[in-house]
Amino acid sequence: MASITMNNVVKTYPDGFTAVKGIDMEIADGEFVILVGPSGCGKSTLLRMIVGLEDITDGEMRIADEVVNDKAPRDRDLAMVFQNYALYPHLTVYENIAFPLRLAKGKFTDQEIDERVRRASTLLELDEHLERKPANLSGGQRQRVAMGRAIVRQAQAFLFDEPLSNLDAKLRGQMRTEIARLQRTLATTTVYVTHDQTEAMTLGDRVCVLRHGEIQQMASPRGLYEQPVNLFVAGFIGSPPMNFLPGEVQGGTLHTPVVDIPLDDRMRRALGDRSLVIVGVRPDAFEDADTLPAQDRDKGLTFPVDVDVTEWLGEVLYAYIPFETHDAVRDKLEELDRDLDGEGMRTQLVVALDSLSPVRAGDTADLWFDPSKLHMFDPETGDNLT
């Protein structure tokens, strides 16, 4: 096992495009780190530089304190699991798993190979399938064979490039927990690329959010969710995404299109001398005021809304409330939407209510929210001020 350290790592492709712009990162021995970000942000490039499949234009990459910039992939002792599994169709599951050991000619005896393959196959519940060919396996089983091949080498670190993206939603969920369990059992340093929110938030000790080849924030999943450093991270992490409303300060009040919020000390400090901010509130900061006990109501603000659409999903009820955004923040929010591949919804408030809430489309409802959960972002820089 090994730590991975990057100092000012840069990747400029031969056509002059700089995909990775000076990354500093320290991944501890045994840590599970997720690289996440919209398409084209440079996450695969970064992973491929760790493995050695892309050379490093500038900066320094260290694995276990050794500079590996000029080291060939096979000498880095890392195991990579690809999106398309890269299995050999003519080999059995057993031989696919054994392959990296046979490749290291003479290093392992047949008995050692057999022991390692069987240990991996038991861990991955592949014992019954060892004699099958990949064509006769399900997607999830193929993925497990690919992981088996990584495990047998007992490499210093595992690198995953969107390993679950070819699986259907149910299997993804299952494999996600298997990967989490496996990583905990083996405690091997792991770097995992995904654009899937749930994978990012559930698998990693820490998550690194990338944009245009730069780190926006690297923190625990909870840290990213509760204290995003800027609009981009706030909008990228969380599903449905954080609501962004224009907020205008007049006297002691922050006016938004849906609710007027009395300023408290925390908000005043964050505001400084600004009179316009982008207010961010997560869908789960709201409640149906009618279902709240009276003593809890007093801890927040209650305000009326016209509900346009509702979605009942069993465990949660989403209600959508349209609002007019403000010209002064429209450009910034449109820029954010482009950055997020259009994932955002910027002209309707999304609230996540208790599934027992009777609120339905067309209703006028009283919503409640806790102002201490509100974020304020600078409309120019996008920085989180709170």
Residues at the contact surface with ligand ATP, assessed by CB under 6 A: 13, 15, 17, 19, 37, 39-45, 195
With beta carbons less than 8 A apart as the criterion, state whether 37 and 23 touch: no
In whole angstroms, what is the distance from residue 289 CA to residue 185 CA? 45
Q: How far is the CB of 40 from ligand ATP (least distance, A)?
A: 4
Tell me whether residue 42 or residue 52 sits nearer to ligand ATP (CB atom): 42
Closer residue to ligand ATP (CB): 44 or 230: 44
- Kindly tell me which of 13 and 88 has the beta carbon lying closer to ligand ATP: 13
| Sheet with 309-312, edge to edge strand ranges | 309-312, 316-322, 348-354
CB closer to ligand ATP out of 15 and 380: 15
Shortest approach of ligand ATP to residue 44 CB, angstroms?
3
Q: What minimum distance in Å lies between the beta carbon of 210 and ligand ATP?
A: 7
138 burial class (0-12, 13-18, 19+ CB within 10 angstroms)? exposed
Q: How far is the CB of 348 from ligand ATP (least distance, A)?
A: 27
Pick the closer one to ligand ATP by CB: 12 or 227.
12
Pick the closer one to ligand ATP by CB: 58 or 308: 58
Length of the chain: 386
CA distance 172 to 278: 35
- The CB-of-48 to ligand ATP minimum distance in angstroms stands at 7
Smallest separation, CB 298 to ligand ATP (Å)? 46
CB 234 within 8 Å of CB 242: yes
Residue among 299, 287, 280, 283 at smallest CA distance from 227: 280
Comparing CB distances to ligand ATP, the nearer of 13 and 82 is 13
Give me the phi and psi of 281, to 5 degrees please: -140, 130
We find the least distance from the C-beta atom of residue 162 to ligand ATP, in angstroms, to be 7
CB environment 326-359: b (16+ within 10 A), e (fewer): beebeebbeebbebbeeebebeebbbbbeeebeb
Phi/psi-derived region of residue 212, left when phi > 0, alpha when psi is between -120 and 50, beta in every other case: left
Residue 368 near residue 262 (C-beta atoms within 8 A)? no
295/18 Cα distance (integer angstroms):
55
